[in-house]
Structure 1
Amino acid sequence: MHGIIIALPTRIHIEPFFLGLFLSLPSRAIDKPELMLAKVFQPSVKVTDYWVSEKLDGVRARWNGHQLISRGGILLIVPSWFVIDFPNTSLDGELWIARGKYQKTVSIIRKQKAHSGWQQVKFMVFDLPEHLGIFSDRVAAMRDLNIQIQSTYLGFISQYQLGSNKELMLQLNAITDQGGEGLMLHHKLGLYHRGRSNDLLKLKLFTDAEATALDYRAGKGKFTGKMGAIKVKSDTGKVFYIGSGFSHKERENPPAIGSSISFRHQGLTDSGIPKFAVFIRVRNEP
């Protein structure tokens, strides 16, 4: 086995009444891959214009034909046996173990050296960034690659078509009931391009978003001596507190100041503040 997984744990002092634990990366950063990003699905969308697939809750990565690169531009030096059968073409996908195993996936890819834990991980491909065709052509190309490549650690996410919004919502409910995160929709005629557009949409039962931790509010009552709520700034620049969704352990060791977190909400107020925001997890992937 060869390789090093880029990550070093560092413990820092945050407040007198608790310690925060976060992971910092050494300087192995390279240019961030130019990824295609999703907008949120709207009911007015014509479902028959799209391919549908499950949204995997993994760690986004790009295989450039030679190396795995994280969404943040970190070179992931993985065991040689993991990628030995990967093709020399560019692949966009998720490093993934199973539904509900996001934190386990992150812990494996962030360790300091190659280890047997990578045997649990699979690179699940959903697009071909350098293919010049429309998405329907890319689906056909991915199916061909799936037949040609025999790799234990490489898979291709199933792409299928639905006939109506009703079928889409039934599928969403079924996936969610099974522990899945949601659905992705790729426009059949869409080309691969950097940034967000209606060519790629995401659909969940609840709206997820990301924010940066700014400060803490001390807890009261049963949370005395622990964090009561965390002050955050959303990607849209809105500042607010999140006080729900934390375990007792997370209140004792809350997200580090400056770290990125994921939260769930049920729409926005007139001023753009997320309603009923609930903490999900720290986004500590590379």
Structure 2
Amino acid sequence: MPHIYLVPIALLLFASPFASSQGASHQAMLASVYSDEREIQEYWVSEKLDGVRGHWDGKALWSRGGHRISTPEWFTEGWPNTAMDGELWIARGRFDAVSGIARSTRADDKEWQRVKFMVFDMPGHGGVFSQRVEVMEEIDDYGIPWLQPVPQFRVADAAELEARLEALAAAGSEGLMLHHQDALYRSGRSQDLLKYKMHDDAEARVVGYTEGKGKYAGLVGALVVEREDGRRFRLGSGLSDNDRASPPPIGSWVTYHYNGHTSTGLPRFARFVRIRNDMQETSHDSSD
């Protein structure tokens, strides 16, 4: 059994993230959460892809955390020399596979043949999003099968949006992204870029562990995590036996699902989903 380091709750205040090096970091535009008082006709809608976010700077591909992604030379050959934000993607439900490929320092030709870079924005373009959509549609003209724009579409009303979400969720999709037609690209959290999902999700940083009891004796009982606002809570639901034996390291970021908030402002029914290997230990909530 792997050695487990259990951190008493009293010592969690002294936990600190791992140090890590960072390359040429691109400050991404991040999504807020959709609410139904929006004028939905003013938004472009697209599927929220379950992949690894990447930034092409015209010469190299970078992770959201600023690490250069090792790709075969052929993968980016012929790409435009302008900046593109996109998702390294294989298929719905294949996040773990594409995450492993993107994190590898040795680019495996066979593995990368499964991957596409799905472009959802052009951060170097000075126009509004509708104009950027037109530019993204021209990516097809490059004739590179693994470089594609994420399809953008319109809906007439909230009912059609809900129907689209339900259909995609039934097919295994993460949800929808909504981008205001007149939005300029800007770094950080934006009300012009929204996500709409069947459940809420967020990221938190691991600051410690609790000791397992009963059948989990000798394993991790729960992760102790901290949100970007400093609030801490435990994540035990959703952890597999392997996760409990070899938990996400202190300082790493994890994604969790939840259903609203309690009266004290903490996530209700929070459950662990996965470790976010594409995030820097010092970054904040990454919701795309």
Question: What is the TM-score with the length of structure 2 in the denominator?
Answer: 0.88
**1:83 alignment partner in structure 2:** 76
* 1:142-194 CA distance string (max 9 Å, x none): 11222x21113211110000011111111111111111101000101111111
* Distance in 2 of aligned mates of 1:244 and 1:237: 21
Pairing 1:130–2:120 present: no
The structural deviation recorded for 1:283 is 0.6
Contact kept, 8 Å, 2:259 with 2:268, in 1: the verdict is yes
Rounded to whole Å, the distance in 2 between the matches of 1:137 and 1:16 is 52
Instruction: Report what 2:165 is aligned to.
Output: 172
What SS does the aligned partner of 2:156 have? coil
1:53 touches 1:160 (CA, 8 Å); kept in 2?
A: yes
8 A Cα contact 2:203 2:256, kept in partner: yes
Query: What is the one-letter code of the residue matched to 2:267?
Result: P
Do the aligned partners of 2:45 and 2:177 also contact (CA within 8 Å) in 1?
yes
Structure 1 runs of 4+ with >4 Å offset = 24-27
Q: How does 1:191-202 map to 2 (within 5 A)?
A: 191-202=184-195
The question of whether the paired residues in 2 share the 8 Å contact of 1:96 and 1:102 is answered with: yes
Does the Cα contact within 8 Å between 1:212 and 1:259 map onto a contact in 2?
yes
Q: Matches of 2:95 and 2:113 in 1, distance apart?
A: 15
**Which of the numbers 259, 270, 278 marks the counterpart of 1:277?**
270
Amino acid at match of 2:51: G
> One-letter code of the match for 1:178?
A
TM-score by length of 1: 0.89
**Residue equivalent to 2:174:** 181
Equivalent residues of 2:117, 2:148 under 8 A apart: yes
Question: Is the CA contact (8 Å cut-off) linking 2:4 and 2:246 kept in structure 1?
Answer: no
Quote the Cα distance in structure 2 between the aligned partners of 1:26 and 1:204.
Answer: 32
Residues 69, 16 of structure 1: alpha-carbon distance in 2 compared, 3 angstrom cutoff: closer
What is the distance in 1 between the residues matched to 2:6 and 2:62?
A: 38
Conservation of the 8 A alpha-carbon contact between 1:33 and 1:62: yes
Say if 1:213 and 1:86 are closer, same or farther in 2 by CA, change over 3 A: same
Aligned residues of 2:6 and 2:208 also touching (Cα < 8 A) = no
State the AA in 1 paired with 2:218: G
Residue 217 of structure 1 and its aligned partner are, at CA, apart by 1.3
How far residue 14 of structure 1 moved from its aligned partner, in angstroms, is 4.2
CA distance in 2, matches of 1:123, 1:145: 11
What runs of 5+ residues in structure 1 fail to find an aligned partner? 1-11, 18-23
Q: Is the CA contact (8 Å cut-off) linking 2:4 and 2:219 kept in structure 1?
A: no
**Counterpart residue number, 1:260:** 253
* One-letter amino acid matched to 1:139: V
Per the alignment, do residues 50 and 13 of structure 1 end up closer, same or farther by CA in structure 2, a change over 3 Å counting?
Answer: same
Question: Which has the larger share of strand?
Answer: 1
1:180 alignment partner AA: S
Shift of residue 13, structure 1, vs aligned partner: 5.2
- Aligned 8 A contact 1:213 1:261 in 2: yes
Cα displacement (A) at 1:48:
0.6
Mark the CA change 1:274 to 1:59 in structure 2 (over 3 Å): closer, same or farther. Answer: same
1:144 corresponds in structure 2 to 138
* Cα pair 1:207 1:267 within 8 Å, conserved: yes
2 CA distance for matches of 1:266 and 1:113? 39
Shift of 1:271: 2.1
**1:92-137 deviation line (CA, Å, top 9, x unaligned):** 1111111111111111111121212111111100111111111111
Q: How does 1:151-230 map to 2 (within 5 A)?
A: 151-230=144-223
Question: SS in structure 1 opposite 2:113?
Answer: helix
3-state DSSP class of the match of 1:15? coil
CA–CA separation in structure 2 for the residues paired with 1:283 and 1:254 = 13
SS in structure 2 at match of 1:235: coil
1:150 alignment partner AA: G
1:264 maps to amino acid: H
Q: Secondary structure at the match of 1:144?
A: helix
Distance between the aligned counterparts of 2:137 and 2:6, measured in 1? 55
Q: Give yes or no for contact 2:6–2:209 (8 Å, CA) kept in 1.
A: no
1:15 aligned partner: 5
